[in-house]
Structure 1
């Protein structure tokens, strides 16, 4: 059975990469609008209501407006914006953490943010297992390729090749924080310190831990074992047990939809660094949307993914 899919915002970076992953797949019929018609609200509304699945690759307000245009109870939605990531009635589209059944049965799915994907993947299972306290003041350091910032940031980095590092969110209160707190099961907002580096894609998310100061915290070995067990059935999320001297993000990184997790521990076990590496356009955006689409359509969740 072929299902129709309309990507609203198909001309953006995330939309283009979703279309690439769906290209040539007989399970889906991709609905496209010309440049002129995709700016016509009537044409968009028609496409939104005719499609079996809609994937929204729009800014938050535009995503909300698009959802408001859907006037039927049949069209199923995956939203890649941050508009609905903690909203009632929306399934959080991280099937490894929230459960595949929740995604499979949902009419409305909110795709996770790229940074929160790494943070939640590392922290949520360990808090649930009681190996990390839910009421600890966590800190998240992260760097990403500039493609995560959309067309304006891409243009800025490609025009100014002298930018070596861009720290942002310095006033705190980043829009990812509520999502990170809610889906990791934390009592307090984590301090989130994001940055951008001069690479098109790729992301490293780190959570440093003072294990010796944390009530009832597990050892680095137990944290790693718990993550390994939690993701044992996942074809997308992998926990590796190496202890490298360095981790690199390369400017030549190819598109990839996997998520790699590490627990790096001090020799005395008193400290650890939880590290997630992913493609901000893969499991951090487009790859996650396609994975959720596959699950909602009852297909192999890895179909069309680059693993």
Structure 2
């Protein structure tokens, strides 16, 4: 039996390059690549996507939709790393640890949409707590996150590593209009009853994310405290290979969070920081925006679909 053919459409971008690097030495699959002169040829790309078993789309949203529209071969399966289909009801959300049975749904799916980098952390923290009823669906959620500049794609890398790198900003908060495209994705897949406030930022480091969600215990049911939130998360991810919940005694010893701590991995580390004196809890997620937040997640989903 021949090895499955995997075509990465857009393998010269930040996500596509890392996916290619993770797959290039695999012997259980065959990578289909296009020559430089063919990458922007729509006919050649259409031929390639219809000749593969699984296509991984690392494209802008409009181009991803066009690529899916060019598929005529019903046997072709797709992993879309863009945000084009993340809230589409016909696409399976590619976050295997999100809920029971999600990994199996991904394994059987024809169309899988990779989660966004920020939503991976936000949903990873919030969904188990909402499903358990510890956080109500109408809770006024605020999410703050800082990503490495590679989250901007080539533009961010060029700004910080190109000729004008000396003038690159050290830190910049953006999304000030509170209309970031990841917000509907977070709301839908976390199970929130109302739109969260999401404030993202870029730092002067290449990759990695720290995402935090502050919680006011007075807005939760009586008896719900930091320990209860931690127990819920720890139970949900007890068997997860790529999501770890830091024990409370270890998080209590931390003085800061390093967004680069898990770079180069497909892992995500969740932590709970209770302040019982003031009735407040900080939830945090640390992971690689190009790993669990992009290319690592795509390869994880690919492995599920190939099994």
Q: TM-score normalized by structure 2?
A: 0.94
**2:246 corresponds to 1:228:** no
Give distance in 1, aligned partners of 2:188 and 2:262. Answer: 31
Cα distance, 1:217 vs. partner?
A: 6.9
- Where does residue 70 of structure 1 map in the other structure? 71
What displacement does 1:253 show?
6.8
Q: Are 1:178 and 2:184 counterparts?
A: yes
1-structure distance, mates of 2:272, 2:291: 22
CA contact (8 A) 2:139 2:219 kept: no
1:7: which partner in 2?
Answer: 8
* 1:43-192 correspondence runs (5 A): 43-98=44-99, 99-158=102-161, 159-162=164-167, 163-192=169-198
Q: C-alpha separation between the residues in 2 aligned to 1:126 and 1:297?
A: 31
CA RMSD of aligned residues (A): 1.4
Offset from partner CA, 1:184-212 (integer Å, 9 cap, x none): 00011100000000000000010001112
Point out where structure 1 has 5 or more consecutive residues left out of the alignment. 299-307
* CA–CA separation in structure 2 for the residues paired with 1:44 and 1:281: 24
Q: Partner of 2:97: helix, strand, or coil?
A: helix
**Matching of residues 230-269 of structure 1 within 5 Å:** 230-241=236-247, 242=250, 243=252, 244-250=254-260, 254-268=263-277
CA shift in 2, pair 1:21/1:95, >3 Å: same
TM-score by length of 1: 0.94
- Cα shift at 1:18: 0.4
- Answer yes or no: is the 8 Å Cα contact 2:237–2:245 preserved in 1: yes
**Counterpart for residue 38 of structure 1:** 39
Q: 1:137 to 1:47 in 2, by over 3 A?
A: same
Residues 95, 254 of structure 1: CA spacing in aligned structure 2 closer, same or farther, 3 A cutoff?
A: closer
Q: CA deviation at 1:128?
A: 0.2
Return the offset for 1:255.
1.2
Match of 1:210 in 2: 216
| Structure 2 Cα separation of the partners of residues 161 and 115 of structure 1 | 27
Question: Are the equivalent residues in 2 in contact too, given 1:133–1:217 (CA < 8 A)?
Answer: no
Contact 1:201 1:253 in 2 (8 A): no
Shift, 1:268, TM fit: 3.0
- For the 8 Å contact 1:4–1:52, the answer to whether it is kept is yes
CA contact (8 A) 2:79 2:112 kept: yes
Q: Distance in 2 between matches of 1:129 and 1:97?
A: 13
The answer to whether the 8 Å contact 1:131/1:217 transfers is no
**Superposed displacement of residue 22, structure 1:** 0.7
Q: Matches of 1:274 and 1:176 in 2, distance apart?
A: 19
Counterpart contact for 1:132–1:217, Cα < 8 Å: no
Deviations 1:259-283 (A, max 9, x none): 0000110043711000000000000
Q: How many residues align?
A: 297
Segments ≥4 residues shifted beyond 3 Å: none
